[in-house]
Amino acid sequence: MAKVSFIGLGVMGYPMAGHLARAGHDVTVYNRTSAKAKKWAKQFRGKSAATPAGAAKSADFVFCCVGNDDDLRSVTIGKNGAFGAMHKGAIFIDNTTASAEVARELAKQARKGGFGFLDAPVSGGQAGAENGALTVMVGGAKTTFNKAKPIMEAYSKMVGLMGPVGAGQLTKMVNQICIAGLVQGLSEGIHFAQKAGLDVEAVVEVISKGAAGSWQMENRHKTMNDGKYDHGFAVDWMRKDLAICLAEAQSNGAGLPGTALIDQYYGDVQKMGGNRWDTSSLLARLNKLSEK
């Protein structure tokens, strides 16, 4: 088995690193809050390090899942960053949802250091991470991907190479654009059904078997109908991701009018105090508007 490190033990990284340990890999972790890294090490019988460089030292595969571009730069090329400690031939796998620009920037730095780089954002949310059932969208060289894929499979159900460095992040942007539209449509549908006095459960049971069916409908309609929004990916994180999508669209000329509008709707949810609600809380916005 491989010598692996994992940097960033948030709601996604903590269980992902756990799956790597369960697969038999020798895992060393780093987290900004050291107590969490020590807790992980005790739970999974791994090791913790005081710095990203300490975690990455001697590792064949270095995984990372942090908040944004700035966080990513900090743990890679910042003071005591992982890149300064990685050996030639190692591979850095970035599971952060970040910009394609920072992926390309860090890939250049990795080439100078003689090690590989893959941008590998994931989809599936907290539940997917905990169940080892994430979808991984990867950008990078095919030879590097082929070496890393068996390791990534410890926490995933699907790992796909989408193209050169940056293609993983671009694919994740497509993913988030599609999710935003689906959630808004589902929110409007449930809101309409409620106002029409229909039995939402009965409606969904029928329409989910047809063209309207989706993962969001299958997994979120019950909690949405009950007004419960604590089941996964937070509004704050979605707005961060949509900002990346909209910035990239400005650069490549894509028109994203619906995405831009739904991003504003999520801003309304934040104003309602829903920063940490899950993304299905677009329904809460509609219900509040109907009260006026």
Residues serving a catalytic function are 172
Q: Where are the alpha helices (DSSP H) in 214-256?
A: 215-225, 235-252
Q: For strands 122-123 and 134-139, give the pairing.
A: antiparallel
Phi-psi region at 245: left, alpha or beta (left = phi > 0; alpha = psi -120 to 50): alpha
Alpha-carbon span 141 to 147, nearest angstrom: 10
Contact status, residue 247 vs residue 263, Cβ threshold 8 Å: no
Q: For strands 3-7 and 61-64, give the pairing.
A: parallel
Alpha-carbon span 129 to 14, nearest angstrom: 9
